[in-house]
Chain A
């Protein structure tokens, strides 16, 4: 059974700092990995998706890397802003068609002005 772990559970940083969120998964036979953001009381917003054949994806100040063999992914946020405050969730899918996502418990990020 796939298990996804995110470290740290919570993180508080001053504005402008670069930071790294970590995600690990137990079964390396994944199809893709997706990072989401969830604001309090809101739904999930997709940030980045990495296919199993890829090593990283970038979008603006966000960079996600994937090391499938070691079962790890990181989400790097450059020059953090108070608007980045949210819970960040990592999720992996296994099968290729219509597959389920297995989520980590998330990292709650607070960026202080």
Chain B
């Protein structure tokens, strides 16, 4: 199993540009989560999906952020337009609700820098 795969690993963009982060969850996992990590606020949940349906997006900072999960094997997190305060490491995680003993698996993250 290749684990949760995120791309790109690093992204540097100019303020105002659109940024798209991508995630491929573990095959068979039916829940997918997007987290953001910063020094100031630690790990924050942005949004999560169950069976490709968004369940809770209360952590999405503002309308500039959007997330989609068109199928069970792919999700995107988009920021448009990006701002310097969006600079952070964005993690994707997945789990199987049918196998709670196995917990959550995180990807390696995307380090976003907005200049």
Contacts and interface: CB of A to CB of B under 8 A. Distances in A.
Interface of B: 30-31, 33, 42-43, 45, 48-50, 55-56, 91, 93, 95, 97, 100-109, 111
Interface residues of A, number: 23
Interface of A: 31-32, 34, 36, 41-46, 49, 51, 89, 91, 96-98, 100-101, 103-106
Contact of B50 (A51, A98, A103): A98
Given A32-B100, A43-B91, A51-B101, A97 B50 contact: yes
A6 B73 CA distance: 34
Contact of A89 (B43, B56, B97, B101): B43
A32 B56 contact: no
A97 B56 CA distance: 12
Given A43-B109, A106-B42, A101 B97 contact: no
B42 A46 contact: no
Given A100-B33, A100-B56, A43 B108 contact: yes
A32 to B, nearest CB: 7
Contacts of A42: 108-109
Given A31-B100, A98-B31, A103-B42, A46 B105 contact: yes
A103 B45 CA distance: 9
A28 B93 CA distance: 24
